[in-house]
Amino acid sequence: MADWAGIPEELLSLICQRLDSFVDYLQFKVVCKPWRCVSYNYPLPQFPLLMLPQENTSSTCRRSFLGLTKSGEEFDKTKVYELDLPEIHRHRCVGAAGNWIVTVDMELDMHIFNLFSKVHMNLPSQSTFNTQIHDPTINQTRSRELMVSKVVLTYPKDPSEDFIAVAIHTVLKKIAIARPGDKTWTTIQNIPCVMDVIYFKQQLYGICANRKLYILDIKSNPPKASEVHVSFSLSFGYFLGVGINRYLVEWSGELLQVLQHESPKEEGEEGGIKKFYTDAFHVFKLDFAYNIWRLVESLGQHALFLGFNTSVSVLASAETIFKRNFIYFVEDHRMQYYRTNVNIEISFDMGVFNLEDRKVRPFSTNTTSASPFSPPVWIISKLNS
């Protein structure tokens, strides 16, 4: 039997310095304790992974990830990795933060799971989300299965911290909160049509479809929302209308609101299905001194990653394949169409937006079509979380 722990540290250092992907680096770390100790001397920057779609009928316990390597130059040179994850077999992923993902199993039980340490915690069942739907056009079976569209975690770094999960309802866009071990979700009633939430500087914020910003008081009984009266530095008429999705992101100590603009395109010769595709993004930062959203034209050295994950900004460098001033997006609000009785095709919009030339490009030639059951989600990996 090979004595992996006995390999000289000098040789391990040479091997570790030549690793060019997060998955290879992770596999190096878990061989044994001496290898893990060496890895701390050669940390990799954050390399986002895209967990690719999986159908609920899949027979494999392996999940595929699109990894970004520091040696690549174009996205068609990225690599697809597979990890054996029986713990989340036939689970729908509804959120991610750091190495943590939030899943819903086939019995509608919800879980928080660390992809790499395999730490597991239970959340209340999806069935305890107390929001009733009275609409005959909605497929009730699908609505029950896909009631929660997205879950944001407020404390993703340390499982010992009292982090909170915030779930967004697929149809009504109500939100509910829970901590691991709670028996039920607690709905916050006085906030309408929530599109995204974020934990920023010890406060939980929510942004709504009507462009209003709220602070969520989760310590009150019951929890409640209070509007933050904010204006825009530009005429907001340009940013109103159908096809706008909103994200909240922390960026270098600033709170950003990112607006995703879409336009419909009809496919098929006759009676085609209208699908929405991303045209552009606009980015604003909140000036707390004057309570005003100010337009941001450059993200500096950062890139944004938006989608089912807790949206984040990540520092780009010479070692990262992702580029500064880019927005990488995997659309997370198409699930609302899957709830209807109408037999429509689901199309998940994903790509890259360059804030400098304001063009949308395909993300990668290695990506596959999305699954309504478990769409793609960003894993912004943190090696020590």
pLDDT digits (tens, 9 = 90+) for 67-126: 765 444 445 455 777 888 889 888 888 899 888 899 999 888 999 998 877 889 999 998
State how beta strands 79-84 and 92-97 pair: unpaired
Residue entry with tokens 């799971």: 113
Q: Residue 13 and residue 309: Cα distance in Å, rounded?
A: 33
CA atoms within 13 Å, Cβ hemisphere of 139: 14
pLDDT tens for each residue of 180-190: 889 999 988 88
pLDDT tens for each residue of 229-248: 988 766 554 554 456 889 99
Q: Residue 94 and residue 102: Cα distance in Å, rounded?
A: 6
10 Å Cβ neighbour count for 120?
A: 14
Q: At what angle do helices 22-29 and 9-17 cross, to 10 degrees?
A: 160
Of 226-230, 298-302, 370-374, where does mean pLDDT reach its minimum?
370-374
* Domain ranges across the chain: 1-45
**Burial grade of 221 (CB within 10 A; 0-12, 13-18, 19 or more):** exposed
Instruction: Check pLDDT > 50 for residue 342.
Output: no
Q: Which pLDDT does position 371 carry in this prediction?
A: 67
Q: Where are the alpha helices (DSSP H) in 18-139?
A: 22-29, 33-39
165: which 2 tokens? 């999960």
CA dihedral 158, 253, 203, 170 (to 10 degrees): -80
Q: pTM for the full model?
A: 0.83
Q: Where are the alpha helices (DSSP H) in the chain?
A: 9-17, 22-29, 33-39, 140-145, 335-338
Q: Name the residue among 185, 165, 174 with its Cα closest to residue 101.
A: 165
Instruction: Check pLDDT > 80 for residue 285.
Output: yes
Answer with the residue of higher pLDDT: 10 or 242.
10
Instruction: Check pLDDT > 90 for residue 316.
Output: no
pLDDT tens for each residue of 117-153: 788 999 999 888 865 554 444 444 444 556 788 899 8
